Copies of this chain bind each other. A is one copy, B any other.
Amino acid sequence: MEKGVLIILSGFSGAGKDTVIKKLMSKYDNYALSISATTRAPRVGETEGVSYFYKTVEEFEQMIKEDKLYEYAQFVGNYYGTPKDYVNEQLELGKDVILEIELQGARIVKEKNPEVVTIFVTPPDAKSLKERLIGRGTEDMATINARLRRATEEAQYMDEYDYLLINDDLDICVEELHTLIKSQHFSVNRNIKKINHIREGVKAFSEGE
């Protein structure tokens, strides 16, 4: 069983990451989505082990101490993090695992795991980004402006990612993401076992002559 690829997907708020991931996962069965751990209380309609792994502060800090998280952060008084166990289980099962995390987390994970593939999703231009932020119609102007300021900051660091994906047409974006992830399986670093096997085989034949 070939191990899966670990993928980080980041992007502007309003870039449509959630929709892209949902469609990708409904269309192909080789993906798993990382499930975060959090100390915040479950909300109505959320399910343990699906929405989040719910932890007490003590449990969460124990996970930190035991290095059981790929990354974690505090937000509005709660811990959020990416448990390693679930991700690694899925990778071992051959699933390509998607981590939907932002720049800070992406940096931490990439630094410790250089083989992780990082992808930044963006609308085609700033105009459509703003339209999408406003178009939701669910947020007030202060929230939208805060998001725009955050987008300005995120835009500064887009080039730290490995790949840039333009989400203009949803179906095209999903296909491009799928293609991009599939092609990661061909990287030489993921095929060292195969390479060594061929090396030994060729050498044995040469010596057998």
Contact = CB atoms under 8 A, between A and B. Distances in A.
Contacts of A152: 202-203, 206
A209 B148 contact: yes
A125 interface: yes
A69 to B, nearest CB: 27
A143 interface: no
A74 interface: no
Interface in A100-137: 119-120, 122, 125-127, 129-130
A161 interface: yes
B202 A188 contact: no
The secondary structure that dominates the A interface is helix
Interface stretch (A38-46, A56-64, A179-187): A179-187
A7 to B, nearest CB: 13
A188 B166 CA distance: 11
Interface string A78-95: 000000000000000000
Contacts of A165: 186
A197 interface: yes
A73 interface: no
Contacts of A202: 126, 129, 148, 151-152, 155
Nearest to A145: B209
A25 interface: no
Interface string A149-172: 101100110111111111000000
Given A152-B203, A197-B125, A203-B155, A162 B188 contact: yes
Interface of A: 119-120, 122, 125-127, 129-130, 145, 148-149, 151-152, 155-156, 158-166, 176, 179-180, 182-183, 186-188, 191-192, 194-195, 197-206, 209
